[in-house]
């Protein structure tokens, strides 16, 4: 197996490092040579002895010896060109590019199928958490009904800081940014786009469907206040940014939203920059995947796993149907905070000062909004 790695940043260099350090063990495992022939980057990088450095990704794509092209530059322009050209040349591709796959995955996966090669993307979803392959292969006996979890470590880290350090949102965001948790474009994390990219890939993988990314309703954590976190905790909950996908009677529900999760729930106890994915199916029922969602070697671990899978003759095909039947998940119990009482059915009620806090019974969101009218309120889903 001859490999070319395009992109030698944090994850790319970590991938090369693992492949070199674990070369003998990996070769023994699959009974085949595992050789990194190229490393491609626009910036000079000191690569291990024997690896060819290039600034031109075409050197990798046009080399007939290369079996696997690893795309780790990110973005949705040059990365797409690299992947498409590699697939059309009959090379397997491994990527961690969640944004590209979320927006252009249908074209890319169909190209892989047409050219009888694989496009693997485990590292694009849960960082180092193996969830794509288990859902695709290990759960093949099951019909998957629902996927939900915490898919963005940055927001989870911020929410943890707000709770444990008694900080408001902006204070926690500053600390997270100083520690390198926040993307250069902070809206990817804070406004739910990153989590939405990942839940789209998980839904596509589990439900065998293609759909437009813009169909996903998303809300980030900018409106989560320390006051609401404190009230939620008094009622037995924590606020988490939850991404979910589920089969509906007519179509599929997908969204990303701040959600109250019971403190005695496993998901409610996932703190810091950790991720968790819970999959609900018919025969296995519930299974959880938990671990670190980002980091040089954490993510590189998943990349290397996908590279080694390219050794198999088995091909993943994507004969999926495109659907427009994608809807937000609006029927739920809700947390509501207002400055005056409202007429709702509720399971819990708390009043402190001028605040009236409810955990409602299940409602359609529009019905609650009609009851709230034009008064000020804070409203979040309850799991």
User: What is the number of domains present in the chain?
Assistant: 3
Residues 260 and 164 in one domain: yes
- Determine the pLDDT at residue 127: 87
Residues 161 and 50 in one domain: no
Residues 140 and 107 in one domain: no
10 is in an annotated binding site: yes
pLDDT at 123 over 90: yes
16 is in an annotated binding site: no
- Determine the pLDDT at residue 380: 98
Q: Please write the tens of the pLDDT for every residue from 160-212.
A: 999 999 999 999 999 999 998 888 899 999 999 999 999 999 999 999 999 99
- Determine the pLDDT at residue 206: 97
Q: Please write the tens of the pLDDT for every residue from 261-314.
A: 999 999 999 999 999 999 999 999 999 999 988 888 999 999 999 999 999 888
- Determine the pLDDT at residue 177: 92
Give the mean model confidence (pLDDT) for residues 316-342.
Answer: 96
Whichever domain contains 209, its CATH number is 3.30.360.10
72 is in an annotated binding site: no
12 is in an annotated binding site: yes
Residues 252 and 343 in one domain: no
Whether 94 contacts 306, CB under 8 Å: yes
183 is in an annotated binding site: yes
**Which residue segment(s) compose the domain that 345 sits in?**
331-382
Is residue 198 part of the annotated active site? The answer reads yes
Give the mean model confidence (pLDDT) for residues 250-267.
Answer: 97
Give the mean model confidence (pLDDT) for residues 137-160.
Answer: 96
Q: Choose, from 80, 198, 240, 292, the residue flagged as catalytic.
A: 198
Residues 95 and 168 in one domain: no
Angle at 167 between CA 165 and CA 170, to 5 degrees: 140
Residues 337 and 275 in one domain: no
> Does residue 242 form part of some domain?
yes
- Determine the pLDDT at residue 349: 98
């Amino acid at each position: 197996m001859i490999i070319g790695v395009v992109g030698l940043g944090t994850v790319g260099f970590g991938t090369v490092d693992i492949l070199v350090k674990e070369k003998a063990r990996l070769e023994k495992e699959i009974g085949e040579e595992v050789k990194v022939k190229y490393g491609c980057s626009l910036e000079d990088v000191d690569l291990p002895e024997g690896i060819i450095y290039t600034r031109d990704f075409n050197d990798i794509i046009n080399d007939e010896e290369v079996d696997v092209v690893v795309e780790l530059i990110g973005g949705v322009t040059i990365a797409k060109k690299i992947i498409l050209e590699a697939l059309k040349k009959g090379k397997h591709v491994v990527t961690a590019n969640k944004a590209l796959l979320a927006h252009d995955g249908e074209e890319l996966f169909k190209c892989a199928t047409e050219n009888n090669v694989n496009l693997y993307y485990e590292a694009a979803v849960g960082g180092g958490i193996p969830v794509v392959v288990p859902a695709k292969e290990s759960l093949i006996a099951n019909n998957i009904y629902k996927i939900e979890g915490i898919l963005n470590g940055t927001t989870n880290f911020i929410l943890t800081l707000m709770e444990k350090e008694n900080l408001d949102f902006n204070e926690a965001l500053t600390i997270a940014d100083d520690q390198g948790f926040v993307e250069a474009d902070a809206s990817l994390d804070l406004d739910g786009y990153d989590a939405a990219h990942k839940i789209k890939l998980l839904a596509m993988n589990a439900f065998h469907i293609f759909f437009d990314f813009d169909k996903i309703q998303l809300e980030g954590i900018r409106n989560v206040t320390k006051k609401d976190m404190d009230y939620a905790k008094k009622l037995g909950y924590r606020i988490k940014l939850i991404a979910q996908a589920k089969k509906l009677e007519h179509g599929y529900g997908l969204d990303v939203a701040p959600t109250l999760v019971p403190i005695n729930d496993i998901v409610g106890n996932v703190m810091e920059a950790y991720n968790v994915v819970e999959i609900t199916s018919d025969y296995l029922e519930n299974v959880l995947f938990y671990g670190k969602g980002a980091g040089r070697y954490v993510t590189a671990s998943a990349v290397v796993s996908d590279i080694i899978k390219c050794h198999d003759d088995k091909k993943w095909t994507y004969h999926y149907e495109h659907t427009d039947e994608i809807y937000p998940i609006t029927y739920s119990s809700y947390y509501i905070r207002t400055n005056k009482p409202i007429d709702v059915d509720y399971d819990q009620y708390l009043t402190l000062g001028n605040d009236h806090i409810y955990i409602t019974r299940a409602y359609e969101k529009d019905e609650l909004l009609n009851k709230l009218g034009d008064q000020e309120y804070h409203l979040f889903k309850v799991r």
